[in-house]
Chain A
């Protein structure tokens, strides 16, 4: 094979994620022009290897050469990325679920710089080929698993690549779709014999049709060669057996094929589980459609079907987790009820994904479940020891589940499900992703429980060899049971062969041609793919690609009503909250007087307070104890005490003292009250002086205070122009931060890694829709400010709008900067909140001018964009300023922008770690 030309060469590749080694010194040559496959269970490094070859992951140590170039070089990656297509693991992982089939394809076509005509032609061909033409307008998220995989394949093939990389393309897909998928690949290869295909799979039987295999386990390659060579080398008949034979001896650990003893009695007497016309609808989607079955006591009953066919929902209805829309389910001859605690005590359930507490150790998990299932306290320790022994977990009792290998974790899940000795076990795909040896051990335990303890087992799986071990099985597809019976009977009824053949023929009978046309039946198109094979050498900057991303992002935003509503409604709600909330006006403060003088003069003095709009008079205070009590309860904010003889002293020209008590619990309010008091007091003195017979001898000078810009000192007039900048950084930054991180979490970021789009195009493209949304918010807020809040706008609206454009661009860039270094949505939310709320509220001059700040706060305040836009907003709204007056702020805003942009481009990686 060394004579063959290699499409990809890996030399001493080691790859780690933190402490975990994913690939351990792997050296491998993958032949060109052939169909090469990586086989092995989950978590052995297959996906990492494919990601490295595709250029989606950064090479850590060693060299990867693909298509005659080193993948560590960014220039080479840019050159070849339009010759490679990568379809990541997971059903439709690189698709955009809210976009239609056509829109998804258009997006990929545009990214590779195809003209409208090229795109139309190519898309039509691909859709015809894969039988998706009838579903052009359907949203990708609403396709079945098999169709999603076909669409993902179409997206991968749109630019006619030389190397096609498929990562577990058929996992979780029903057997019929699986066969059709490989037929489709064969037809594509027939037409493009030069194309190399590299694929990974966990289904050993699929690997039989590959030209070249690399068998992987535990970060290493165990063997390479054609399937026949591998079988011959291990002297086995099937690849699954070959795989087991290749495992090191300690992993095989006395492995043997589980033997099923026949049921103790040939007929299962009383049915333990029964379903009649069981139906579940989610909206107009029917997940389970009139399912009937009856499972006898001690029987092993299997559900066989693809992802999303209704297996899980059926099981949830049996456990009472989900109420049935129609029909009945009975356990132990009693209808399933959500609050029937007694029945639940007799049932054990194991859900699809590992769902025990990862924070608790193995022992703590077992103990918690034993306690909650009310195993008598004195038996718990013995029961834990016994169960751990039975499931081979004794040595792991004090480990955390996360440190255990997948197979052992599954055993723990089963151990937890049987700790209370249930009579029925409901197991939802308990073995998916587990290696064949561990799977067989798991089945030994099940057989033991069924045959020895007469536990009724209801299990779902998509492995055919597991289904063959059940006493009876049901084929399930699209919410319906297609056929039920003993595996052997089903094979016989569908013309012999294997169980998979029986399932496929069952599916073919059932599927109506309209729902998914049988593409296998169509002749392959005679026309070869248009060989316009000029590979667009990726240019450094392309406006088209940028706009492609902008267009897609805005489509997604439009179709996510929750995000859109929160973004728009949120702005309004917050504007009202802050506009009213951060208010400095204090009105209608309750005050009362302790008037110990009771003269005309004292009443005259108090008159000015009760007449003011700030204060509201309460019943007079009787004595000091009363004063203390009423202040303490918070009833009064202010108490005024006029001493006895006040009037007399005033007349005598002496200076009487008036005592005032202010509730200081809220310092801000107290200071405001003091301010009002001083004002009223001075006013009274002036008034008093004027009433004097000799007017000349009034106070020597006075201060004429002019409140500029906001003469009535209305809180709203001051706050609203300040709230707009606050909200315009908070929400746009949050949205754009989530925009990129969401792609990271959901996996579509891979399209950025593996297509010619550059970092700047990606970032700016994603930013544009949020700038648009921000401007819309800006317009609405200004409108609300002028109408609802009645805040006059005195200066140049044009200047404000222009500044808003600059500022929102800054804010969204800031969000992108955050998303460039965070990896989860929750972290992005926290970082965006911390990075915007605190500086914007504390340091940007909202309450205290930046010039009053000291230390680091002052520096942040000078640099932060909100400071400048706040000055512009206040300038335009209240100070009737225009461009000329606000020059400095505009320059500062405009200068911030490139700094943030450069930083985020620098921080964003074009490859995964």
Chain B
């Protein structure tokens, strides 16, 4: 009995490979996603502070003020535009500038006199990322220039503490490292859902799945065949991509064990292919599958913790997303690939993925025959 199940599952899986091999468009899509897709996604993501537009209103026109103006240059900032107060306001309104820095009249004189004058920095806070990160930079740059100036003028200084920040696991804070691996994860999820789900819909539209169901086969075997074959395709391409593109071409250092990561990916693929089959049993047609997939995929990707940190989500959302396999997969992948964590650390997310995958698989299995039977004509 078990031997027969294994034999049938093996045979049907081989058939899936042959089918995929003939579908050149899909092959191209897979190849593209795991090479060009990852490369461009990693490269396209700009560093957070890139060419931030800044305007300066220099009402002082002194040595110090020109020092400050000269301290802003690419790549972090665009060369500052020197404007009037009114123009600065309009530029902020229309979104031409994210920052406008106002150096008040007699600024240098007041500094020298120890009056502790204040520069005014206006930030367009609707542009969150640039606003938050950039403000720190502007303040630090101004601070540094004024201190240098003061030191040269031998002004007394107050007690100082040096803050020495170090980034762990990604010492240069490179977006390429992060972007490439997260894109790899997103593509693994996307492709496994599409391959398993769309293949089922296509078999249904062509009537071949009916054919399978009148043979001495059980739905379990049909589903397992799709899971192992499509899972293997994605796993192999993901592994190749990790070695050749991420490590090779993009030179991303990976600190943890790649085999452990691939083992986790295999578990994740079990969950996502089962999810794909489940969606395939829910959707009545390819367009419905397409819309449904987008509705499922977007939360899976955006709220998994791979785009923005889970800490910033409302509690309800964060809790709800614990039911998504991607949440645990992202957690596991970040731990292994960036922080070099071992099985002792990641056994929990792995177990969660397995449990979620099992649940999806069970639901899909129970729906499988019924969803075919209920199709009219």
Contact = CB atoms under 8 A, between A and B. Distances in A.
A857 B40 CA distance: 13
Given A580-B313, A664-B170, A667-B173, A679 B136 contact: yes
Interface stretch (A224-232, A371-379, A771-779): A371-379
A632 B51 contact: no
A807 B175 CA distance: 33
Interface in B295-328: 295, 298-299, 302-303, 307-309, 311-314, 317
A876 B124 CA distance: 14
Contact of B311 (A371, A589, A681, A888): A589
Contacts of A117: none
A708 B123 contact: yes
A734 B288 CA distance: 12
A891 interface: no
A580 B317 contact: yes
A381 interface: no
A400 B23 CA distance: 13
Nearest to B136: A675
Interface string B253-296: 00000000000000000000000000000001011101110110
Contact of A738 (B51, B287, B308): B287
A656 B162 contact: yes
Interface in A573-606: 573-574, 577-578, 580-589, 605
Most buried by B among A347, A583, A631: A583
B166 interface: yes
Contact of B312 (A364, A585, A721): A585
B78 A852 contact: yes
Interface string B179-208: 000000000000000000000000000111
Interface in B1-42: 4, 8, 11-12, 15, 18-19, 21-23
A668 B126 CA distance: 17
A248 interface: no
Given A659-B166, A700-B111, A685 B125 contact: no
Contact of B299 (A577, A662, A715): A577
A60 interface: no
B61 interface: no
Contact of B163 (A585, A658, A888): A658
Contacts of A825: 286-287, 290
Contacts of A421: none
Contacts of A879: 93, 126
B354 interface: no
A829 interface: yes
Interface stretch (A159-167, A320-328, A534-542, A749-757): A320-328
A851 B140 contact: no
A738 B162 CA distance: 60
A747 interface: no
A357 interface: yes
Interface in A557-572: 562, 566, 570
A704 B335 contact: no
Interface string A651-669: 0010111111111111111
Most buried by A among B52, B214, B345: B214
Given A570-B291, A582-B307, A881-B93, A719 B128 contact: yes
Nearest to B103: A701
Given A322-B373, A577-B302, A703-B121, A584 B214 contact: no
A717 B166 CA distance: 32
Interface stretch (B150-158, B239-247, B356-364): B150-158
A355 B168 contact: no
A4 interface: no
B311 to A, nearest CB: 6
Given A658-B163, A668-B308, A697-B158, A682 B143 contact: yes
Contact of B214 (A308, A320, A678, A681): A320
Contacts of B120: 703-704, 706
A319 interface: yes
Interface string A868-884: 00010011001101000
A493 B167 CA distance: 94
A715 B307 CA distance: 15
Contacts of B173: 664, 667, 670-671
Interface string B138-180: 1110110011011000011111111111111111011101100
Contacts of B132: 584, 672, 675, 713
B303 A829 contact: no
Contacts of A713: 125, 128, 131-132
A340 to B, nearest CB: 9
Nearest to B369: A338
A701 B314 contact: no
B129 interface: yes
B63 interface: no
B142 A349 contact: no
Contact of A341 (B138, B216, B309): B216
A287 interface: yes
Contacts of B150: 700
B303 A718 contact: no
A359 B214 contact: no
Given A570-B295, A605-B161, A581 B118 contact: no
A408 interface: no
Interface stretch (A80-88, A92-100, A688-696): A688-696
A283 to B, nearest CB: 9
Contacts of A655: 160-162
24 contacts: A308-B377, A316-B373, A322-B373, A353-B207, A373-B215, A574-B295, A577-B298, A581-B302, A581-B303, A584-B129, A588-B311, A631-B169, A662-B166, A671-B133, A685-B158, A700-B150, A702-B116, A706-B121, A709-B125, A717-B126, A742-B287, A848-B130, A851-B78, A878-B125
Q: What are the 8 A-B residue pairs with the smallest beta carbon separation, nearest first?
A: A355-B207, A664-B167, A664-B170, A710-B125, A359-B22, A581-B302, A707-B125, A665-B338
Interface of B: 4, 8, 11-12, 15, 18-19, 21-23, 44, 46, 48-53, 78, 92-96, 98, 107, 110-111, 114, 116-133, 135-136, 138-140, 142-143, 146-147, 149-150, 155-171, 173-175, 177-178, 206-208, 210-218, 284, 286-288, 290-292, 294-295, 298-299, 302-303, 307-309, 311-314, 317, 331, 334-335, 338-341, 345, 369, 372-374, 376-377
Given A566-B291, A708-B125, A842-B44, 19 more contacts: A321-B372, A341-B217, A344-B216, A349-B211, A352-B207, A353-B206, A356-B211, A373-B216, A374-B4, A566-B292, A583-B313, A662-B167, A664-B168, A678-B140, A681-B163, A699-B147, A700-B114, A701-B116, A871-B95
